[in-house]
A and B are shown apart, each in its own frame.
Chain A
Amino acid sequence: MNDNRENILFEKIKNGDEAAFKAIFDTYYASLCHYANRFLEDHSLAEETVQQLFVKIWERRHTLKIESSVKSYLFRSVYNHCLNLLEHKKVRWQHARQLKENFREETDPDRFFLEPGLAEKIEACIEELPEKRREIFRLSREEGLKYREIADQLEVSVKTVETQMGLALKTLREKLRYFSLLLFFFKISAPRLGVKIKSTVIPAK
């Protein structure tokens, strides 16, 4: 359903519809940057790479071909772009190989894609958490700190961190119930139902 909507947007892009292009851009930009950043470990390089990718997509819009879904196409392109970049520049070649290996198992776009509208919902939930709980949750989810490290940093007990993390999860689950049910449903019921689009060259206006 969602895939189909996006593939229709993609057809519009091929016809030079900039609004459709922007819709795809807005949906995926931040997620793709985050994904690229996992390879490049450089925020601005990641942004530049993703922006270049979109420029390239627009320039080649007439001959683009999407075999599966827009989502997997974009993530796959970013993946290739990043590896090319690392290999081409011979920057930390060893590192690139290492990442290539690591990411072979971690290329599922769903693990990197934040659905449109979900960021705002999560933000609203997090905003509502009491200050201390919010900070504990942030340190865990944003900085990836262990409970022990969070406890040391905030000068609280590990038990407190445990309790607060449990309560934060409870709040998020309750407030995002509808959304996560929906996501979950899609994940199990619509495995890669990409609509195939034939490649047709459409003359420019």
Chain B
Amino acid sequence: MKDPNKIENARWELLAGYLTGEADETARREVETWSGQTGENLDELNASRQVLEKAGLYYQTRPFDPAAAWCRVQAAIHPAAPSESHKTRPAIRLFTPRLMKIAASVVLALALGTVGYYLGYQQRKTAVICEIAAADKQVLTNITLPDGTVVTLNSQSKLTHPKHFTGDTREVSIEGEAFFEVKPDAEKPFVISAGKACIRVLGTSFNVCAYPETETVEVVVATGKVQVTSQQVQSEGTAQVVLDPGEKGVLFNQNNQLVKLANDNPNVISWKTRELVFNQTPLSEVFQNLMKVYHIDIQVSDPALNKLVLTAHFNNQSIDFILEVIRLTFNLELSAQNGQYFFTSRNM
């Protein structure tokens, strides 16, 4: 096909006029003659028509939001959708952090794996709550919230947010692990409910790890300042910590203790970046990291292997490459079966 760059602007003007029905008799005849001259010209005319049609469709379909609609459809197809008492409660009240947790667990129990539900079907103006869930071995990247905040969701994690942020704060909740790049807005703090912890920021990026089955909620800050508080009133210990970049806040679920530590783990967001740094790291820890990032299973024949230490830097390499490096470094045997990798020592 002739390079459209070569077709001078006047030609485009003529084509646009023809396709939008603005061309007069002379112009129309000119376009028709031109398009009849070669197959390429005809293709160009048809392709241009299609582009204008699709651009029109882009504008016409823009008002319809599949994400919000999916919440409603999901609510309808799951018989165990939100109970009557929840339907009548104004959705916005669910977003006070304490109620949020209760509501979230009730809904989880009721909806049995529902990833979204819609409250106040009859009342059009009430808030729509969206849940985004990453399945096993799945990382959801670039989830953009209504305020422009970008979230990366690690596997088996769930993010709940309102379709629109109303009120003085932007409130979301997280179960599992996520990396937040919060859009700065000094007027409207971004508040995350994560298990027993409550995280409050203005505009920053940080990692939250709050899988329900683990004993802690961990927040590691990349940029900016982050405030972490315990959601439960407590008699002893720190009620809140303010974290700077490179610091880590840990909330122990069992005793509700909140501490601030230096982050000594360079691989906190490797699940997102697939960049892994090992510095004299025992193989057991290396394998833990690899299993988390690549969603695989690694076993060793001899516990002694776990004590070997590795210093390496991997940047988005394939798991096979990384395992090969480890195999060669320590002169091991590697076998793979059903997605499970098995290291054995050679001299055994």
Contact = CB atoms under 8 A, between A and B. Distances in A.
Interface of A: 22, 25-26, 29-31, 33-34, 37, 43-44, 46-47, 50-51, 54-55, 58-59, 111-115, 118-119, 122-123, 126, 137-138, 140-142, 146-147, 162-163, 165-170, 172-174, 176-177, 180-181, 183-184, 187
Contacts of A58: 73, 77
Contacts of A31: 57, 61
11 contacts: A22-B70, A25-B73, A31-B61, A34-B60, A58-B73, A59-B77, A114-B57, A119-B58, A162-B16, A163-B9, A184-B50
B185 interface: no
B212 interface: no
B4, B20, B124 — most chain A CB neighbours (10 Å) = B20
B215 interface: no
A51 B72 contact: yes
A29 B57 contact: no
Contacts of B73: 25, 51, 54-55, 58
Contacts of A168: 16
B128 to A, nearest CB: 13
Most chain A Cβ neighbours within 10 Å, of B12, B53, B56: B12
Kindly state the interface size class of chain B when it binds its partner: 35 or more
Interface stretch (B40-48, B219-227, B262-270): B40-48
Contact of B20 (A51, A140, A142, A187): A140
Across chains A and B, which 10 residue pairs bring their CB atoms closest together, nearest first?
Answer: A166-B13, A142-B59, A30-B61, A166-B12, A33-B64, A29-B66, A30-B64, A170-B12, A165-B16, A122-B58
Given A43-B63, A122-B55, A146-B22, A25 B9 contact: no
B77 A114 contact: no
Contacts of A22: 70
Interface in B253-292: none
A165 B58 contact: no
B51 interface: yes
B108 interface: no
Nearest to A38: B60
A115 B54 CA distance: 9
Interface in B6-28: 7, 9-17, 19-20, 22
A174 B4 contact: yes
Contact of A172 (B7, B11, B55, B76): B55
Contact of A126 (B7, B55, B66): B55
B74 to A, nearest CB: 8
A138 B15 contact: no
Interface in B121-155: 124
Secondary structure at chain B's binding surface: helix, strand, loop or mixed?
helix
A137 B69 CA distance: 29
B56 A166 contact: no
B66 to A, nearest CB: 4
Contact of A51 (B4, B63, B76): B76
Nearest to A19: B135
B66 A30 contact: yes
A163 B13 contact: yes
B57 A183 contact: no
Contacts of B11: 166
Nearest to A158: B22
B96 interface: no
B2 to A, nearest CB: 12
B5 interface: yes
Contacts of B56: 141-142
B70 A26 contact: yes
Nearest to A125: B55
Contacts of A51: 69, 72-73, 76
Given A31-B61, A114-B57, A180 B70 contact: no
Contact of B61 (A33, A54, A137, A177): A33
A34 to B, nearest CB: 5
Interface centre among B11, B16, B53, B72 (most CB of A within 10 A): B16
Nearest to A119: B58
A54 B123 CA distance: 21
